[in-house]
Structure 1
């Protein structure tokens, strides 16, 4: 009888061990199937976080006609050597201004303009992926 009870206990232990192993395997497969979507969620969040941006800052708010006004800025999500184009707001439309530069390896840019158009001039910089906000420069005679 003692042999039989040991056999029953050992058999029960083996069955319990197999059950635990089976549930662990099932849990592992659930985690494995969940892992790709977790990775995809992180990648999607990184993509959203890395939306291309470009900033603009003018070295002055007022300038004499035809004097140089420098614009500088920083970029995110825009590759080095990407073309940066200056635009001016004319009659409600952004018009390409004859001033370009390229994004540096430090994700910055620097460009200057000259304008003879007296009054408030609004400028921005654009790349193929992003546009900055506008800055106002008052040009005086």
Structure 2
């Protein structure tokens, strides 16, 4: 009877440990404490990375047709030398614009565009991992 009682208690402890561990399967020994060790906490925290981001800022809100408009921005979680592609919203779809650059070692970028399309032009920049918000530039004749 004593062996069965110990078996039941150990089974309950293993199930409780699995529940506390968020469904992770632990093979081998069962720890008496459910509290994570300091080393385990550090490993979990370091494996959680912030989502990559990219911002955009235009040097002009309004520009004459074919005038240069510069876009600059900052990135997080995107490696240096990563390609940055400018896109323009055309008929409800983002289309690659013929302007690219690369992320610098300081996690920034700068690129310029020229557009002859009169009216409000919406631009954004994208990488393989992130897309910026849109920025509007009104192009006049």
Equivalent residue for 2:46?
Answer: 43
Q: Secondary structure at the match of 2:84?
A: strand
Q: Deviations over 1:83-103 (max 9, x none)?
A: 000000000000000000000
Give the Cα–Cα distance (whole angstroms) in 1 for the partners of residues 107 and 79 of structure 2.
Answer: 7
Give the Cα–Cα distance (whole angstroms) in 2 for the partners of residues 75 and 42 of structure 1.
Answer: 22
Tell me which structure has the larger Cα radius of gyration: 1
Equivalent residue for 1:116?
Answer: 116
Q: How does 1:12-91 map to 2 (within 5 A)?
A: 34-35=36-37, 37-44=40-47, 46-47=48-49, 50-91=50-91
Runs of 4+ deviating beyond 3 Å: 29-33
Structure 2 segments unaligned to the other structure (5+ residues): 1-30
Q: Secondary structure at the match of 2:78?
A: coil
Superposed displacement of residue 42, structure 1 = 1.1
Structure 1 segments unaligned to the other structure (5+ residues): 1-28
Q: Secondary structure at the match of 2:66?
A: coil
Give the Cα–Cα distance (whole angstroms) in 1 for the partners of residues 76 and 32 of structure 2.
Answer: 37
Give the Cα–Cα distance (whole angstroms) in 2 for the partners of residues 133 and 78 of structure 1.
Answer: 16
**What TM-score do you get using the length of structure 1 for normalisation?**
0.72
Superposed displacement of residue 41, structure 1 = 3.1
Superposed displacement of residue 111, structure 1 = 0.1
Give the Cα–Cα distance (whole angstroms) in 2 for the partners of residues 138 and 93 of structure 1.
Answer: 18
Superposed displacement of residue 32, structure 1 = 9.9
